[in-house]
Structure 1
Amino acid sequence: MNHDKNNKGLGMSSSKANPIDKVSVYVAAGLVSGAGALLLNVLPLLFGALAEKFGLGENQLGNLALAMNLGFGLLGLASLLWVRRVSWRLIAALSSLLVIAMVLYVVSEPTFESLFVIMALAGAGTGALYALAMTIFGDSAQPERAFGFKLGLETVPGATLLVLLPVAVMPVWGFHGMLLTIALAMLLTGIAPLLWVPARSARVVEASRASGQASAARRPIVWLSLVASLVFLTGIMAVWAFLELIGKKTGLSGDTIGAVLAVGFIINAGGGFMASSIGLKAGRFVPLAVIILAQLAGLVLLAQFGSFATYVIGAVLFLFSINFVLAYTFGIMAEFDVSGKLVALGALCLSAGAAFGPAISGLLIEQFGYTAAFIFSGACSVLALIAYGAAVLRSQQLLRREQDAGGLVLSRL
C-alpha cells in the first residue's frame, strides 16, 4: 500500500505556513506532552516508593493504578467538550498545577482512601495535558512527522527521572525528595514552555468550511486508526508490565534489568524521532509493516528466556516499535479528523491500553504461562496493522474519488 503524497493536503490546507509546524512549538508542546506522560513513565519507581512508605500490597497498588488510569481516560474523553473552546495555555497551566498539588499533597502522608482520590485527580490532570498535546500536534500539516517528534520528546522527561530518582535523588533526599522532584519536573515541562504554545487553534476555521459529506467520508479512517492505536497499545502494555519479571526469568539481576529498561526507554524515544525523520517518504504502510515485523521478532527473542543477549535485543526491538508505530496511527488519525476533536481520544487509547493490557496478560500468564502473553501481544500488533492498513487503503480510495470529482468539474468549465 503506497501512499500518494498528494494525500497530504486532505483535511488541512497547506497553502499557508502552519503555526503549529515550528520548532519552538514542537519542542514546547512536546514537553507539555511529556508532562502528560510523566506519572505513567515513572510509575514503577513511584509505586515502589509508595509501597515502602505506606506498606501497600500489590492489590492496593493495582487499585491506585486503576484510579490514575480512570482519571486519565475520563479527562481525555471529556476534553472533546472543551479542548477547542478554552485557551490551550490555560488548560496546560491548570492541569499542571492540579498534578503538582496532588503530588505535593502526598508529602502529608494521607490515608489509602485519600491516596486513591489523589491518584485519580493526578491522572485526570495528566490526561488533560496529554489530550491537549494530541490536539496541538494533530493540527500539523505533516502529522506523521509531528507525532513522531512528539512521541520521541515526551519520553525524555520520564527517562531522565528514571535515571535521576534512584541514583541522585532518593538516596539523598528520600521519599519527599522524589515527590518534590516530580513536582518540579511537572512545573518545568507543563508550565514553563507555555509562552511558545499557541493560545488557540487555527484549524477551527478550516474545519468549519468542510462539508458534512466530506467529514462523513473521512470519519471511518479516523475510527480505524483509533482502533489500531488502542489494540496496539493493549498488546504493548500486556508485555511492558511484565518486562522486569521476564528479565528475572532469564536470570538477570534487578540492577541489570533496570539499566536495560532505562536504555530501552531512550531507544523508544529514538523510534519516535526516526518516524519523524522518515515521515511519508516511504509511504504510510511499508514503514509500519517493517517495524511491526521487527517487534514480532523481539517478542520471539524475549520468549526464549535464554540469555542476557536475547533479552536485550528482544527488549530493544520491542520498545523501539512503540513510538514509531503510534506516530503513524496517530498521524493518519489527525490528518483525516476534519473536526480536529477526535484526535484527543489518543489519550483514552493510552489509558485503556494501560488498564486492560496488563489485566488480560496477567490472566493469560496465570492460566497458560508467559508464552500466551507474548502470543497475545503479537496478535494485537498484527490486528493493529490490519486496521491501519484498512485506514490507509480507504484514504487512498477517498483521494482518488476526490481527484476524479475535481477532474470532472474542471472538464465542465
Structure 2
Amino acid sequence: MNLPVNPKNLFIFILAASIASTIGGLPFNSLPVMLGSLADSFSLSSESVGLLGSICFAGYLLGTLGAPFWINRLNWRTLTVASTIGTATAFAVSSQLKSIEALYLVWAFIGFFASTMTCLGMRILTDLPDKVRAFGTRQGIELSVTAAVLFALPPLIIAQWQYPGAALALAVVVGVLGLSAFWVPQGPLLAIAEENQAITNHSRIPLPRSSWVCMGIFFVFLVGNIALWAFLERIGADLKLAGAEIGIVFAVLKLLGGVAAFFVAWIGDRAGVRWPYWIVLLGVLAGLLFLLGAGSFLPFALGAWIWEFAFTCGCVFQVAAIARSDASGRAVVLVPAVFALSSMVGPGLAGQLAAGGSFNGVLLLAAVCSVLPALVYSFWQPAKS
C-alpha cells in the first residue's frame, strides 16, 4: 500500500527508518570492539580477526543482494519484527559458543539478518525529498545510538564478561530497537508526484551506468576505511590503552560521526557536488596522520575522531550521489550490498597487512582509497535519471 508523505508523518517515517537501520548498522558500528573482545577471549591472530569480520559481511552481502527483489513485496512491519528476532537471537547464541568455527557461522547469520534492516531503512528514506538531509538524519541517529552502546561496552560489559557479555548486551539493544516496527510504514511511500512518476517510468529499465560508477567509487572508498575501522581497536590495544579509554574513544567517535551526519543533513544540497569530497579527503588524511604518529591516548583519540567525522561525511555525500543517479530508487537499495562487499574485502585485507605486527599498511590503504572520490567527482558527475 502506498502511503502519502506529509509534514505530520515525515518525521515519524525518518525516525522509524533510522532506528530500523540502526539495527542493521550495529554489527559494523560495533565491529572493532566486538572483534577486539573476540580476539582477547579466543586469543585470535590478526588474520583470524579479519576473517571473522569478512565472514560476517559475507552474510550481510547475501541479504543485500536479494533486497531489490523482495523489498517492495513484503510487509515492512513484519519484516522488521522477523529481522529483529533473527539478529537478537544470533547475538545471543554467539555468546554461548566456544568454537571459533561455530562463531564464524553465527556471525554470518548476524550479518544476514542485520542487512535486511539496513536495506529497509534506506528504502523508506529513498521515497523522501532532499536525499542528503534524509540520509544524513538517518546516519546521525544511527551513530548517536551506537555511541551510547560503545560507551558502555568496553568498561562496563567487556571488562567483566568479555565477548559473551557484549553479545548478550547487543541482543538486548537489538530487541529494544525492534520496537520501531510499530512506526515503520507497511509499504512504499508517496513522496512527491514528480518523483513517483519518475519511479514508474524507470522501474523496468536497467540501472543507469552512472549509478554503477558511483557505487564503484564508493566501494573503493569503503574498502580502505573499513579496513582501518575493523582494526582501530587493535591499534588502541597495541598502545596499551585501558578499557575505559577505549570506551571513551569509541563513544565520542560515534557521537562525532552523528554530529557529522547531522551537519551534512543541515547543509543538504547547498554543499555542492565537488568541493565536499576534497574537504572529506583532507579530514581523512589529517586523522590518519595523527594515528600514524600516535604513541599515547590523546593523539590516538584525536586521530580516530577526526577520521570518523570525515569518513561519515564522505559516506553521506556518496550515498546521496548514488540516490540522485537513479530516480527509481533501486540503486540506493544496493548501497548496503556495496557496503557489505567492501566490508568483506576490507577486514580480511587489513588482517593480512597487519600480520607482521605493524598497522602502517592499514593506514596507507585508507589514505589511498580516500583519494578516488575527490579525483573522480572533480571531473565527472552522474547524470540525473
| TM bucket normalised to smaller | 0.7 to 0.9
Scaled by the length of structure 1, the TM-score of the pair is 0.80
Structure 1 partner of 2:333: 344
Counterpart among 30, 46, 54 of residue 42 in structure 1: 30
Counterpart among 9, 24, 27 of residue 12 in structure 2: 24
- Backbone CA RMSD of aligned residues: 3.1
Shift of 1:259: 2.2
Of 61-70 and 29-38, more deviation after overlay is shown by 61-70
Report if aligned partners of 1:221, 1:336 keep a CA contact under 8 Å in 2: yes
Structure 2 partner of 1:132: 120
Superposed, 1:148-163 pairs within 5 Å as 148-163=136-151
Shift of 1:89: 1.5
Structure 2 partner of 1:407: none
Match of 2:293, SS state, is coil
Q: Which runs of 5+ in 1 are unaligned?
A: 1-15, 400-413
Shift of 1:348: 1.6
Residues 296, 202 of structure 1: alpha-carbon distance in 2 compared, 3 angstrom cutoff: same
Matched, 1:199 2:182: no
1:119-148 deviation line (CA, Å, top 9, x unaligned): 111110001111111212222211111111
1:217-266 deviation line (CA, Å, top 9, x unaligned): x7133222212221111121222233344446667555434422321121
Scaled by the length of structure 2, the TM-score of the pair is 0.85
Structure 2 Cα separation of the partners of residues 44 and 367 of structure 1 = 19
Amino acid at match of 1:351: A
Report if aligned partners of 1:18, 1:141 keep a CA contact under 8 Å in 2: no
Structure 1 Cα separation of the partners of residues 361 and 245 of structure 2 = 25
Counterpart among 26, 44, 50 of residue 57 in structure 1: 44
Structure 2 partner of 1:229: 218
Superposed, 1:4-403 pairs within 5 Å as 17=5, 22-50=10-38, 55=42, 57-58=44-45, 60-109=48-97, 111-169=99-157, 177-189=165-177, 191-202=178-189, 206-210=197-201, 219-247=208-236, 255-305=244-294, 308-365=297-354, 370-389=359-378, 392=381, 394-395=382-383
Report if aligned partners of 2:21, 2:117 keep a CA contact under 8 Å in 1: yes
Report if aligned partners of 1:227, 1:387 keep a CA contact under 8 Å in 2: no
Structure 1 Cα separation of the partners of residues 133 and 9 of structure 2 = 10
Q: Which runs of 5+ in 2 are unaligned?
A: none
Give the fraction of aligned pairs with identical amino acids, expressed as a percent.
27
Match of 1:27, SS state, is helix
Amino acid at match of 2:230: A
1:65-100 deviation line (CA, Å, top 9, x unaligned): 232111011101111110111122222211111112
Shift of 1:40: 2.3
Match of 1:280, SS state, is helix
Amino acid at match of 1:154: E
Report if aligned partners of 2:34, 2:163 keep a CA contact under 8 Å in 1: no
Shift of 1:284: 2.4
Structure 1 Cα separation of the partners of residues 166 and 50 of structure 2 = 21
Report if aligned partners of 2:323, 2:329 keep a CA contact under 8 Å in 1: yes
Of 361-370 and 178-187, more deviation after overlay is shown by 361-370
Structure 2 Cα separation of the partners of residues 84 and 126 of structure 1 = 18
Asked which structure has the greater CA Rg, the reply is 1
Shift of 1:184: 1.9
Residues 299, 195 of structure 1: alpha-carbon distance in 2 compared, 3 angstrom cutoff: same
Count of paired positions: 377
Report if aligned partners of 2:37, 2:162 keep a CA contact under 8 Å in 1: no
Shift of 1:176: 5.5
Report if aligned partners of 1:77, 1:344 keep a CA contact under 8 Å in 2: no
Report if aligned partners of 2:55, 2:344 keep a CA contact under 8 Å in 1: no
1:161-215 deviation line (CA, Å, top 9, x unaligned): 21223344456777655443322211121x21122221111369534532589x6
Shift of 1:276: 0.5
Report if aligned partners of 2:277, 2:373 keep a CA contact under 8 Å in 1: no
Shift of 1:319: 0.7
Of 269-278 and 18-27, more deviation after overlay is shown by 18-27
Structure 2 Cα separation of the partners of residues 209 and 124 of structure 1 = 30
Structure 1 Cα separation of the partners of residues 380 and 106 of structure 2 = 39
Structure 2 Cα separation of the partners of residues 137 and 24 of structure 1 = 11
Report if aligned partners of 1:20, 1:139 keep a CA contact under 8 Å in 2: no
Amino acid at match of 2:268: G
Report if aligned partners of 1:145, 1:275 keep a CA contact under 8 Å in 2: yes
Amino acid at match of 2:182: L
Structure 1 Cα separation of the partners of residues 37 and 256 of structure 2 = 26
Report if aligned partners of 1:221, 1:391 keep a CA contact under 8 Å in 2: no
Residues 98, 246 of structure 1: alpha-carbon distance in 2 compared, 3 angstrom cutoff: closer
